[in-house]
Amino acid sequence: MKLDKPGQSALLKLSEVDINIERIKNEISKAVNSAELSAKSAELSEYSGEVIAARTAFENLNMESRKADDNLHMVEERIARDLERLNATSSPKDATAIQSEIESLTLRKEELEEVELEILERLEVARVELEAVSQKREATSKKIEELREKIQVEVDALKNEGRKLVADREILVSKIPTEVLEKYKALAAKQIAVGKVESRSCSACRMGLTANTIDALADLPEDEVGNCPECLAMIVR
């Protein structure tokens, strides 16, 4: 296949540019599908679940605590009322009955105070737990934000690099005749399409070439493109 020297050099560069464009596409896809980001996102949804559970537990205890408080106040009010009645009564029989009620109410009050104390202790544990898990969630959320920003910067840089390569590609393509370009495209769809003889090897497939092949390639006219017998890549000078 005939191709002048500037065309050959454009063809080799085109192959390099296309390989780089492919690499950039892969790097963008790898950056966007970051394994670290998926792991952190999974962690975030786990912590979010834990925060909901911890908040529900805390709110339930809060309700229990209010209920216990109400019960205690009710008993305290009844004791206060009984004490008023005790002061007001002149009947010894009533006084004894009231006295006995006050005694049992006082016992009840002590029980309720213990219950309330126990709930308050559990409430404090639940509060600490909620705070801890909320902090973990917050830290993970912040980490995700940072990762997203980092990925965005990476992707932007890759896209910039890609845009430059696409512009270079246009210029190179304009220097190569259509029939050579068609052959290049067909080869490039499957493999590295263009190579040179480098250290007695084909730079496309890295296979060593025999002395006969190297001589045959060297003997070709300057404007003739050869082929690697191993990978069929077009061999330019």
- Helices 92-174 and 35-88: crossing angle in degrees, nearest 10, is 170
Q: Quote the least distance from Cβ 191 to Zn ion, whole Å.
A: 9
Task: Residue 137: name the closest of 57, 47, 56, 50 by CA.
Answer: 47
Region near Zn ion per CB under 5 A, out of 41-49, 71-79, 90-98, 225-233: 225-233
Q: Is 33 or 191 the residue whose CB approaches Zn ion more closely?
A: 191
Q: Is 113 or 230 the residue whose CB approaches Zn ion more closely?
A: 230
228 touches Zn ion (CB under 5 A)? yes
201 touches Zn ion (CB under 5 A)? no
Q: Is 54 or 231 the residue whose CB approaches Zn ion more closely?
A: 231
230 touches Zn ion (CB under 5 A)? yes
Which of the residues 153 through 182 are near Zn ion (CB under 5 A)? none
* Structure-block tokens of residue 16: 């390099």
Q: Is 105 or 202 the residue whose CB approaches Zn ion more closely?
A: 202
DSSP state of 2: B
Contacts of 206-211 with C-beta under 8 Å, sequence gap 24+, read 207/231
d(CA 82, CA 100): 10
> Nearest 5°: phi and psi at 226?
-90, -175
Contact of 45 with 140, CB cutoff 8 Å: no
- Count of CB atoms within 10 A of residue 201's CB? 17
- Count of CB atoms within 10 A of residue 82's CB? 19
Q: Quote the least distance from Cβ 210 to Zn ion, whole Å.
A: 12
Pick the binder of Zn ion from 188, 231, 234, 236 (CB under 5 A).
231
- Count of CB atoms within 10 A of residue 219's CB? 9
Contact of 52 with 200, CB cutoff 8 Å: no
Which of the residues 100 through 139 are near Zn ion (CB under 5 A)? none
d(CA 8, CA 193): 12
Q: Is 115 or 205 the residue whose CB approaches Zn ion more closely?
A: 205
Q: Quote the least distance from Cβ 185 to Zn ion, whole Å.
A: 18
Contact of 25 with 158, CB cutoff 8 Å: no
Q: Quote the least distance from Cβ 4 to Zn ion, whole Å.
A: 23
Q: Is 17 or 233 the residue whose CB approaches Zn ion more closely?
A: 233
Q: Is 172 or 202 the residue whose CB approaches Zn ion more closely?
A: 202
Pick the binder of Zn ion from 202, 217, 234, 236 (CB under 5 A).
202
Which of the residues 204 through 223 are near Zn ion (CB under 5 A)? 204-205
69 touches Zn ion (CB under 5 A)? no
Q: Which residues bind Zn ion (CB under 5 A)?
A: 202, 204-205, 228, 230-231, 233
